Amino acid sequence: MTDIEIDINGNIVTAKAGEMLIVVTDRENISVPRFCYHKKLSVVSSCRICLVDVEGAIKPQPACSTPVVQGMKVQTQNVKTKNSQKSVMEFLLINHPLDCPICDQGGECELQDLAVEYGSDVSSFSEGKRIVTDSDIGVLIQTDMTRCIHCTRCVRFGVEIAGIMEMGGTGRGENLKIEPFLEQGIQSELSGNMIDICPVGALTSKPFKYELRSWQMNSISSIARHDLVGSNLFVQSYKGKVKRVVSADNDLVNEIWISDRDRFSYESLTHENRLLKPQIKVQGRWNQVSWEVALDYAIKGLNSHILKHQKADQLGGLVSNTATMEEFYLFKKILTEIGCDNIDYRLNVKNLDNTILLDSNIKLDALEKIDYALIIGTNIRLEQPMINHRLRKATKKGADIDVLNVMVFDFNYSLHTENIIAPNKIAFILAGVLKSIMINDGQELPDYLIAIDVDEIAKNIAYKMLNSDSSVIILGEHIINNVDASTIANLVAKIAKSANSRTLNLSITGNTIAANLVGCVPQNSGMNVNTMLASDMRGFILLDIYPQYNFHHLGAAIKAFEKDDTFVISLNSFKDDIVVGYSDVILPIASIYETSGTHLNINNDMQSYTAAVKAPNEVKPAWKVLKVMADLLELPGFNYEDSTQVLAEISYQSHVIHNHDIKDNLTSYHNGISVIWQNSPYSIDAVLRHSETLQETKIGQMNNAYMNQTSAKTLKVSVGDKYLGVLVIITDTVADDCVFINANQTTNIYGQV
Amino acid sequence: MNEVCFKNLTKDQCWSLKTYEDSGGYSVWRKILKGKFTSEQVIDELKLSGLRGRGGAGFPTGLKWSFMPRHSDGQKYVVCNSDEGEPGTCKDRDILRFNPHAVIEGMAIGGFVMNASVGYNYIRGEFMEPFKRFEGALEEAYKAGLLGQNINNSSINFDLYTHLGAGAYICGEETALLESIEGKKGQPRFKPPFPANVGLFGKPTTINNTESFASVPEILRCGGQWFADIGVENSGGCKLFSVSGHVTNPANFEVPMGISFKDLLEMAGGMRDGAKLKAVIPGGSSTPVLTAEIVMNMTMDYDGIEKAGSMLGAGSVIIMNESTCMVEVLTRLAHFYYDESCGQCTPCREGTGWLYRVLKRITDGNGRKGDIDLLLSVQNKIMGNTICALGDAAAMPVESFLRNFREEFEYYIKHRKSMVKG
């Protein structure tokens, strides 16, 4: 596009030929009102409020859909412009109720703002107003469709962003009604964004209904914590309580969207299960005590069980993926200072000799520019909604996506091929892909590839990899405990190298990239988590751990913690019976939005945030608790006044623990049925599990063990039975030799999954 | 009279393939299939003929076809707009009933010129009989090997489908029509891009009115000059006028452009029961109304009607005698547009209902002082401010009715009853 000059209100501004006028005025900070126009949605030009006076045109032109041309003269403030905008306002207010005093949008309503600026005090319309019956669209979004001004942003959001048209316009003329076509309610994992983009009070947050006015709340920018993106958002609070979360703009991270779980998880902060006081177990009885007593008890316990006997090597430190980067660092520093190398965050890994090591080397915003993606082992739409959104955008521009999954999942874009592969065969398909690419490139084959069959699936993927200009291979969580996990990761890395492709490792979760970078993995002679669980440990410090959801070796974990002479210090945000069962000290720590900290996303973007609210009662941010513990242990170098000083001290280095060669065992499949236990998308951490409204959604209710007929026969289960405590669904959408579990509960047996 | 679309009107089974072919039908198409008629020739003849779009806008057809991205790669479409829904219009219905093959041949020629191998004829949902007639003709044409793939070994492909609407006036707007064919709700698209570039299923699409397509074969058979000579300067050929209202014989008449209104009225048997003419809507309900004095000196062509202060539109002449209450007519028209607005853009969605409600309260005897100014102000706020022309169509009659018959409205408001009916 060539640079041109146009005249807006007498000022010459530079623009690109063909840009829409409103894009230019927005860039120049010249105010033009809009309802239907939204920078991330298609232009429909239907509300007509953006009409501006363009020299040469008899009638004012809509700025959202008028391309600029060299020499164009525009007036955005003259009488002609104002009159036409006033006319449109008058039309809009004909049927819009004047219920601003009881409308949740009041104070942040685009229509209200403009009515103040453009509306008349008295309307010449004196007939009755339209009333629209509401549809119940679910637990997250409150509808008040009488207020709807038919801008269709929510409709376009569904079609263009969420990928499912859940809202639409029925009827015509003034009977046009924006409503869902089906009565099942809105199901999208991104549905809450409709609340943000609705310019009026037609769609508002249901959990926030009638709570507060926007101007009464403190708005603090923060970072979402439930995925690998770290979406930018605003946490809005009133009198120390988080009342609402809305999205913030960051084109490099989340554009302007956030997922429903990032939006509504704040509800957990006031859950009745919050841990509010420190407690200690003295002679088998729990007492609520002051922090001084609790910390004193904890330090004494550490001393008497471990330090006094110089047995720091029998202390274990385990962290979940929910902590901040600063907390991971302090945790690690304390253990290092007392001479303990037993530290780990990889709680959900079955076999730590068979782990995924794979770089992520593509930027989030570059994902939407790829022309080919191979997705392996993830229900990416629900597990990483914001990353999936970028891929969806790529498919809209023509990218092809192939999938290697253990089960058919619901994608919101069409796939090039969706291959349902038994877990024990995925490595062989990938080996076939690598072989095919190497043969094509005339490379000499390594031994482990010589006997590999290249089937049609592998050929097809290799062809796509070789014929794409910018491709990415995405490896997901379902591979973590695959029998060939490390082989798969290595094959992915080799394929990417041969085909000049990028990789994205989504097998990690939460803030574990930060945990790895600060070194929360065993070094030197330190034990890893599974070794710790199998060893005779004298004590544990556990940071935000709920074993039944965190550990792969759940039974072993509980057994290790429960041992009589093992002293366990737990730092948790929520009450938990199992934690109570094995701990000696439980320290209540701040949850999301209650502490300052740093989140490291898949692009290694270090995003720091401050606390939006103070933690309730006697709850303290974990970094402060750790600092005080260090002080009480009389460890040097913990003189921090705030968490930014902690951050400043952190030096970054990746802590790669082992590297694996591709094994020669690609000669035969591992036999047996693989069970993939995947916490359902709204159960991946304690905060989400305590977000009651999210739990009521269809995604929150996901709780099934899926298997095909053959697997069911082998396992001797049938429809209606439970497998590992989860209701069985028999479906041929699952691969052979596989049980795929999406659970919002813990298993009912404390055994091996 | 009746030289082009209605050429065979009086013949037995005038809609049959045999009748059509006996009078020279498909001869142009056959020439094209044999490679003896090029698309450049088609466009040149159409330009020469002076044929202008018969759906209402009056854009020169030859010029339109020459603008199309005919030589671009990929699928292209031709679409015939038979969603005839404007109050007063019923010409396309009779073309489909009595001369469907002319539409088929015209569309096939259009497909050839535009390099479009697929055509759709979008027929108004209420037109069951025309729909069946057209489908019958389509079957005949396929059987005769005039349509399909590699027609007569010419390597020309043209498949034609009918699509029945579901009763929305707005689907007569070309982009709403395209949406409807695509299976979506019939709502106009924002333009640009225009259908010529991004049309049906996102592909370049030529849309013409039924009468335009039906005129093409005869124009090409007899020559553009022949057609042009039938009409007058700037309005070539003949045109179907649907004369309705207070006349003795309401009907469709295919007459040369430029005929005087008086003659047209006479063809329709003059005013019914010898009543006095009061007003005429010359081009369909959305065109401005004219008074008797003006129309009596008007010629029926684009320039003639424009000079008189209205538009030729689709050639739908609504005749009203002295017993007509103009307030009630406008109220009825306003109700039509209120009912048919798609609801997409604000001024039309909210404004058409407002216009109707003000008029309704006047005819209910509850009119207020200032209502006339209010009507004028509302119509002015709609006019030119909407995505498609439905807003204008709703607004235009209001302005002209109030300009020409203001005293009737004032009377109705003041006396709470009709000036005409008492």
* B337: nearest CA partner in chain A: A173
* B339: nearest CA partner in chain A: A173
Of A94, A127, A176, the CB nearest to B343: A176
The CATH number corresponding to B238-321 among 3.40.309.10, 3.10.105.10, 3.10.20.600, 3.30.300.30 equals: 3.10.20.600
CB contact under 8 A, B346 and A48: yes
CB contact under 8 A, B343 and A90: no
**Residue-averaged pLDDT of chain A:** 93
- Helix ranges restricted to H, A105-259: 110-118, 153-156, 193-197
C-beta neighbour count of A209 within 10 angstroms: 10
Of B338, B340, B357, the CB nearest to A127: B357
Is there a contact between A421 and A404 (Cβ–Cβ < 8 Å)? yes
pLDDT of residue B2: 81
CB contact under 8 A, B352 and A92: no
B188 touches chain A (CB under 8 A): no
**Closest to A687 in 3D by CA, of A510, A540, A569, A568:** A510
Residue type, B124: R
**pLDDT, tens digit, 9 for 90 and up, residues A506-541:** 999 899 999 999 999 998 889 999 999 999 999 999
User: Which token pair is A312?
Assistant: 């720091």
CATH 3.10.310.10 is right for the domain spanning B17-230:
no
Q: What is the pTM (predicted TM-score) of this model?
A: 0.93
Helix (H, G, I), strand (E, B) or coil at B232: strand
Contacts of B168 in chain A (CB under 8 A): 172
**Element housing A191 (H / E):** none
pLDDT level of residue A120 (50, 70, 90 thresholds)? confident
**Closest to A142 in 3D by CA, of A54, A202, A57:** A202
Above 70 in pLDDT, residue A374? Answer: yes
* Distance between B5 CA and the closest CA of chain A, angstroms: 35
CB contact under 8 A, B385 and A60: yes
**Element housing A679 (H / E):** strand A674-679
Above 90 in pLDDT, residue A126? Answer: no
- Among left, alpha and beta (phi > 0; psi -120 to 50; other), residue A386 is alpha
**Closest to A195 in 3D by CA, of A100, A130, A132, A263:** A263
CB contact under 8 A, B190 and A92: no
Q: What is the CATH number of domain B326-415?
A: 1.20.1440.230
- In A111-162, beta strands by DSSP E: 141-143
Chain A residue set in contact with B, beta carbons under 8 Å: 43-49, 51, 58-60, 65, 84, 87-88, 90-92, 94-95, 124-125, 127, 149-150, 152, 168-169, 171-176
- DSSP code of residue A259: -
Question: Each residue's pLDDT tens digit in chain B (422 positions)?
Answer: 788 999 999 999 999 999 999 999 999 999 999 999 999 999 999 999 999 999 988 999 999 999 999 988 999 999 999 999 999 999 999 999 999 999 999 999 999 999 999 999 999 999 999 999 999 999 999 999 999 999 999 999 999 999 999 999 999 999 999 999 999 999 999 888 899 999 999 999 999 999 999 999 999 999 999 999 999 999 999 999 999 999 999 999 999 999 999 999 999 999 999 999 999 999 999 999 999 999 999 999 999 999 999 999 999 999 999 999 999 999 999 999 999 999 999 999 999 999 999 999 999 999 999 999 999 999 999 998 999 999 999 999 999 999 999 999 999 999 999 999 88
CATH 3.40.50.2300 is right for the domain spanning A674-743:
no
Of B170, B340, B354, the CB nearest to A94: B354
Is there a contact between A423 and A488 (Cβ–Cβ < 8 Å)? no
B8 touches chain A (CB under 8 A): no
CATH 3.30.70.20 is right for the domain spanning A3-94:
no
pLDDT level of residue A661 (50, 70, 90 thresholds)? low
Of A58, A65, A150, the CB nearest to B384: A58
Above 80 in pLDDT, residue A652? Answer: no
Per-domain boundaries in chain A: 3-94, 124-270, 279-351+512-649, 365-505, 674-743
Q: Is the peptide bond before A681 cis (omega within 30 degrees of 0)?
A: no
Contacts of A84 in chain B (CB under 8 A): 381, 385
The CATH number corresponding to A124-270 among 3.40.50.1980, 3.30.70.20, 1.10.1740.10, 3.40.50.11900 equals: 3.30.70.20
pLDDT level of residue A656 (50, 70, 90 thresholds)? low
CB contact under 8 A, B385 and A88: yes
Per-domain boundaries in chain B: 17-230, 238-321, 326-415
pLDDT of residue B343: 94
pLDDT level of residue A751 (50, 70, 90 thresholds)? very low
CB contact under 8 A, A45 and B345: yes
CB contact under 8 A, B349 and A90: no
Contacts of A63 in chain B (CB under 8 A): none
* Distance between B337 CA and the closest CA of chain A, angstroms: 9
B345 touches chain A (CB under 8 A): yes
* Distance between A461 CA and the closest CA of chain B, angstroms: 28
CB contact under 8 A, A173 and B354: no
Residue type, B405: F
**DSSP codes of every residue in A365-410:** GGGGG-SEEEEES--HHHHSHHHHHHHHHHHHTT-EEEEEESB---
| Location of structure tokens 């035969």 | A668
Is there a contact between A319 and A514 (Cβ–Cβ < 8 Å)? no
- Which residues, 6+ apart, have CB-to-CB distance to A184 below 8 Å? A698
Question: Residue B98 and residue B362: Cα distance in Å, rounded?
Answer: 43
Interface test with A, best of B180, B342, B348, B349 (most A CBs within 10 A): B349
What's the N-to-C CA distance of chain A in angstroms?
A: 58
Q: In angstroms, what CA-CA distances link B333 with B16, B56, B86, B296, B326?
A: 37, 18, 10, 24, 10
Question: Residue B330 and residue B375: Cα distance in Å, rounded?
Answer: 11
* Distance between A56 CA and the closest CA of chain B, angstroms: 14
Helix (H, G, I), strand (E, B) or coil at B372: helix
B346-363 helix and B390-415 helix, angle to the nearest 10 degrees: 20
Provide the CB-side half-sphere exposure for A620 (13 A, CA).
Answer: 19
**DSSP codes of every residue in A659-712:** --PPPGGGGSPPPS-EEEEEE-TT-SSHHHHT-HHHHHSTTTT--EEEE-HHHH
- In B105-194, beta strands by DSSP E: 118-123, 159-164
The CATH number corresponding to A365-505 among 3.40.50.12780, 3.50.50.60, 1.10.3720.10, 3.40.228.10 equals: 3.40.228.10
Contacts of B393 in chain A (CB under 8 A): none
Of B339, B346, B357, the CB nearest to A88: B346
CB contact under 8 A, A87 and B347: yes
pLDDT level of residue A127 (50, 70, 90 thresholds)? confident
Contacts of B339 in chain A (CB under 8 A): 173
CB contact under 8 A, B342 and A172: yes
Burial of A744: CB neighbours in 10 Å, binned 0-12, 13-18, 19+: buried
CATH 3.40.50.740 is right for the domain spanning A279-351+512-649:
yes
pLDDT level of residue A750 (50, 70, 90 thresholds)? very low
Residue type, A153: R
Question: Residue A245 and residue A140: Cα distance in Å, rounded?
Answer: 13
Contacts of A171 in chain B (CB under 8 A): 343
Question: Residue A323 and residue A335: Cα distance in Å, rounded?
Answer: 16
Is there a contact between A257 and A364 (Cβ–Cβ < 8 Å)? no
Question: Residue A272 and residue B11: Cα distance in Å, rounded?
Answer: 88
The two beta strands, B118-123 and B159-164, are parallel
pLDDT of residue A670: 80
* Distance between B338 CA and the closest CA of chain A, angstroms: 7
pLDDT of residue A753: 42
* Distance between A406 CA and the closest CA of chain B, angstroms: 35
CB contact under 8 A, B346 and A149: yes
Interface test with A, best of B171, B197, B345, B346 (most A CBs within 10 A): B346
* Distance between A39 CA and the closest CA of chain B, angstroms: 17
Task: Give the length of chain B.
Answer: 422
Helix (H, G, I), strand (E, B) or coil at A314: helix
